[in-house]
Amino acid sequence: MPVSRTLKSLGATLAILVVLVYLGYLIVYAAYAVNLFQWPFDYDQGEGFELYDAILYSQGEWPYQDNSTFPFYASNYPPLFHLLIVPLLPILGPRLVAGRLVSFAATLITGGAIFAIVRRKSACPEQGRRGGWLIPLVSGLAYLASNYVYQIGPLCRMHMTMVMFETLAIAFIAEFEHPRHGRRNLILGLLMLLCAGYTKQMAVFTVAAALSYIFLRDIKKALIAGAALAVTAGAIFWLLNTATEGQWWINIIQANVNKFDYRQTVFLFGQWFRLHTVFILLAAGYLVYELFWDRLSAYSLWFLFSLGAGALSGKWGAGFGYFTTAIAAACLTSGLALSRLQNTARRTPHALRILIPLLYLLQAPRMLHLPTSGPLFGPLARALGVDDALIQGDCATFQYHDAMGYTQLGHLLTADDYTAGEDILDYVRTADGPVLSEEAMFSLLAGNPVVTNPTQLLNLYNNDLLDTTEIIERINRQEFGLIIFRAQFYPQPVLEAIGQNYQPVDHVCMNGFYYHILWPQRVLDDTSAQPDQ
């Protein structure tokens, strides 16, 4: 008895420690999100364009336009995330915080859904046991503790909203055979899949997982559900394409055919595995168990199919964000695996009470990320031995540690960044003509029109879908009063025309990147002529 009591106490202590560690990650995430909510400029290139899409919708305009004519702008994403931002615009104004709040809330809902699913599925009614708290709670918190979710979660980007819809879809589809609510669950699941797909095209892998699950259990229902989803999604697709005179097809489908580098995919698979090892091994083990010894669940199939999204991460413009669905699936399925283990291993309950928290504690430091300065995080970083960790940007060093190594995201913004942003904004406000910028927020904050979406122009140019005649003519006439480069993602002929007609006048370091400010040659000629007059 004393040994049993000691083991029970040890298990309880470890469980409390685990919850504290994962709650700590939640605090780090919340601190980063609050820091970003205050930042008015693009933190990640593309955020401002997502906001601009929402602004266009609020004005009753489509963001799917002809890129060959002024303002040379189009979105390459479906509309749902932008439409979710629209109701917040009258309250928060045309500010990035509107989109960042939507995305952040989506990650919290996803974490909450993982918690609810694991708690519900880990209940063992035949033994009179309810679901317990530790495994469901840590499964939900683990999703928010992932380095990838942390970095992308509070950005004005649509990816995490897609993962939210995917998680909800799988939760409903998994219960499509429910004796009382089966039909309702199936319809809601299909609706969530539709929402996920019209948030971001990547949801196609989750659609495949969900329909495969239904097919395994009920072929007729799978065919009907698949046909219903295809007809509905197809009808919306056709309406959008008709309403935009074919620009939807060009910008959403054709522009997204990009070069693929398998080495990037292999690298990211390795990094994803290294950061989330315990969750992935548990989820993979559960998949194998269900495949050979039990029936395949919707969750295991989702985990398997989500690897397909990860395989596309080598596409130009893709990255580690393509693994966030797989992370949600791994957190969920690993929780189910441990719950299953707990429910079946009746002879060794005390061993599991220690083993399960130990597994979570083993995993926790693998994802370590936190700011390494400040009154709270400075001492914590010192205690963890990462206080000297730095992230080196192009022109600044950030006091931030991340187990994934170099990363452009995740650090907190400094007073210097705010000053630099205002400096660039001054250039925009005094520009003599429209501004060609690789980030939309400078134009939006200055009340100027947003001109060009450079990566979209490059995508189209690389696929022989862009006529650069008009934009090059305007550059040659030096109609743009200012050009702001960050990554120079414009098509090569556009860059060459800019090089012949514009001159760099300043290089401003903001958020770790150099922003190159270029003036038209005519302005520089006027400026140099002024002293003689």
Partner 1 sequence: MITKRQLGFAVVALGLLVIGATVGVDFIGAGRWSGFGPLQRIGIGLSLPTIVAGCILIRLGNRPA
Under the binding rule (CB under 8 A), the answer on residue 376 touching partner 1 is: no
Residues 221-260: x/- map of binding to partner 1 (CB under 8 A)? ----------------------------------------
Under the binding rule (CB under 8 A), the answer on residue 346 touching partner 1 is: no
Taking contact as CB under 8 A, which single stretch among the options 191-199, 211-219, 244-252, 272-280 is the one that binds partner 1? 211-219
518: left (phi over 0), alpha (psi -120 to 50) or beta: beta
For partner 1, the closer of residues 56 and 304 by Cβ is 304
Under the binding rule (CB under 8 A), the answer on residue 215 touching partner 1 is: yes
The alpha carbons of the chain give a radius of gyration, in whole angstroms, of: 25
For partner 1, the closer of residues 300 and 363 by Cβ is 300
Amino acid identity for residue 145 in this structure: A
Nearest approach, Cβ of 224 to partner 1 (angstroms)? Answer: 16
For partner 1, the closer of residues 267 and 514 by Cβ is 267
Nearest approach, Cβ of 257 to partner 1 (angstroms)? Answer: 16
* Structure letter (DSSP) for residue 485: E
What b-and-e string marks burial along 288-307, b requiring 16 or more CB atoms within 10 Å of the CB? eebeeeeeebbbbbbbbbbb
Nearest approach, Cβ of 215 to partner 1 (angstroms)? Answer: 7
Taking contact as CB under 8 A, which single stretch among the options 217-225, 328-336, 341-349, 396-404 is the one that binds partner 1? 217-225
Nearest approach, Cβ of 216 to partner 1 (angstroms)? Answer: 5
Largest Cα separation within the chain, whole Å, is 99
Taking contact as CB under 8 A, which single stretch among the options 152-160, 290-298, 347-355, 488-496 is the one that binds partner 1? 290-298
Nearest approach, Cβ of 327 to partner 1 (angstroms)? Answer: 21
Nearest approach, Cβ of 288 to partner 1 (angstroms)? Answer: 9
Q: How far is CA 64 from the centre of its chain?
A: 22
Burial label, 193 (beta-carbon count in 10 A; 0-12, 13-18, 19+): buried
Q: Where do the DSSP E strands lie in 340-437?
A: 369-371, 391-392, 397-398, 400-402, 435-437
Nearest approach, Cβ of 12 to partner 1 (angstroms)? Answer: 39
Among candidates 25, 24, 168, 36, which has minimal Cα distance to 101? Answer: 36
Binding to partner 1 (CB under 8 A): which residues in 257-276?
A: 262, 266
In the numeric block, which tokens belong to residue 243? 């309403």
Q: Where do the DSSP E strands lie in 141-180?
A: none
Taking contact as CB under 8 A, which single stretch among the options 89-97, 201-209, 210-218, 354-362 is the one that binds partner 1? 210-218
For partner 1, the closer of residues 78 and 310 by Cβ is 310
In the sheet with 502-510, reading across from the earlier edge strand, the strands are 435-437, 482-485, 513-520, 502-510
Q: Are 438 and 487 in contact (CB under 8 A)?
A: yes
Cβ neighbour number for residue 200 with a 10 Å cutoff: 22
Nearest approach, Cβ of 291 to partner 1 (angstroms)? Answer: 7
Nearest approach, Cβ of 296 to partner 1 (angstroms)? Answer: 6
Q: What are phi and psi of 414, to 5 degrees?
A: -115, 170
Among candidates 95, 206, 202, 115, which has minimal Cα distance to 159? Answer: 202
Q: How far is CA 122 from the centre of its chain?
A: 29
Taking contact as CB under 8 A, which single stretch among the options 186-194, 229-237, 288-296, 372-380 is the one that binds partner 1? 288-296
Contacting residue, 27, 257, 291, 487, with partner 1 by CB under 8 A: 291
Q: How far is CA 337 from the centre of its chain?
A: 26
For partner 1, the closer of residues 221 and 516 by Cβ is 221
Under the binding rule (CB under 8 A), the answer on residue 406 touching partner 1 is: no
Nearest approach, Cβ of 405 to partner 1 (angstroms)? Answer: 23
Contacting residue, 7, 109, 204, 217, with partner 1 by CB under 8 A: 217
Contacting residue, 27, 219, 224, 351, with partner 1 by CB under 8 A: 219
Nearest approach, Cβ of 295 to partner 1 (angstroms)? Answer: 5
For partner 1, the closer of residues 218 and 467 by Cβ is 218
Q: How far is CA 156 from the centre of its chain?
A: 9
Q: Are 41 and 150 in contact (CB under 8 A)?
A: no
Q: Where do the DSSP E strands lie in 337-463?
A: 369-371, 391-392, 397-398, 400-402, 435-437
Taking contact as CB under 8 A, which single stretch among the options 18-26, 196-204, 292-300, 382-390 is the one that binds partner 1? 292-300
Contacting residue, 30, 94, 218, 516, with partner 1 by CB under 8 A: 218
3-state secondary structure 423-459: HHHHHHHCCCCCEEECCCHHHHHHCCCCECCHHHHHH
The residues binding partner 1 (CB under 8 A) are 215-219, 262, 266, 291-292, 295-296
